[in-house]
Amino acid sequence: MRRKRNRSNQYLMSREEQKTVSFTGIQGIAEQDQMAQESQGYIVDRTKENLSPTDVGIIRFRKILLDDAKAYANGKRPESPHQSQEYCLRGGGAHTKASLSLEEVMQERFNSTTGKVQDVQH
């Protein structure tokens, strides 16, 4: 299952909102972060980036990769590839109408009522 706002639909960018509401014209902080990351391309010098506390997911993911690479170099099989379902979650926040249930908000924001990725496409 893909996110509702993604690269293929330009994150549902609104040029009108871009002119009047937000610089990006993209609803949702998580979606803006995703757009910023994906628009950089596939190879970027990560030593020049400035991560903040809100980037803890990125920091932890990179630590997992580095730990697995070190384990592999020492002749151990990395464990994380065999735990892939543990990493298929979506995070994010939303400002919504109080009348909406959590499930309705999740469906609207992430195209999923739980935030758990059901169908991972490789």
- Is 39 domain-assigned? yes
Q: Please, what sign has the CA dihedral across residues 9, 41, 33, 24?
A: negative
What sections of 1-122 are H helices per DSSP?
A: 15-20, 29-38, 56-73, 102-110
Interval 79-93 mean pLDDT: 73
Give the pair of three-digit tokens for residue 116.
């758990």
Range of the domain at 7: 1-49
Q: Give dist(CA 93, CA 76) in Å, integer.
A: 38
Is 12 within a domain? yes
| Number of CB atoms found within 10 A of residue 116's CB | 13
**Do the domain assignments include residue 6?**
yes
Q: What is the mean pLDDT of the chain?
A: 82
Please indicate, yes or no, if residue 25 is contained in any of the structural domains: yes
Q: Is residue 92 part of a domain?
A: no
Whole-model pTM: value is 0.41
pLDDT of residue 120: 47
* Mean predicted confidence (pLDDT) in 49-53: 79
| Span between the terminal Cα atoms of the chain, in Å | 11
- Asked if the model's pLDDT at residue 121 lies above 60, the reply is no
Residue 62 lies in a domain: no
Q: Per the domain annotation, does 22 fall within a domain? A: yes
Q: Which residues of 57-88 are buried (b: 16+ CB within 10 A; e: fewer)?
A: eeeeeeeeeeebeeeeeeeeeeeeeeeeeeee
Q: What is the tally of structural domains in the chain?
A: 1
Residue 19 lies in a domain: yes
How far is 108 from 105, CA to CA, in rounded Å?
5
Is residue 115 very low, low, confident or very high in pLDDT (cuts 50, 70, 90)? low
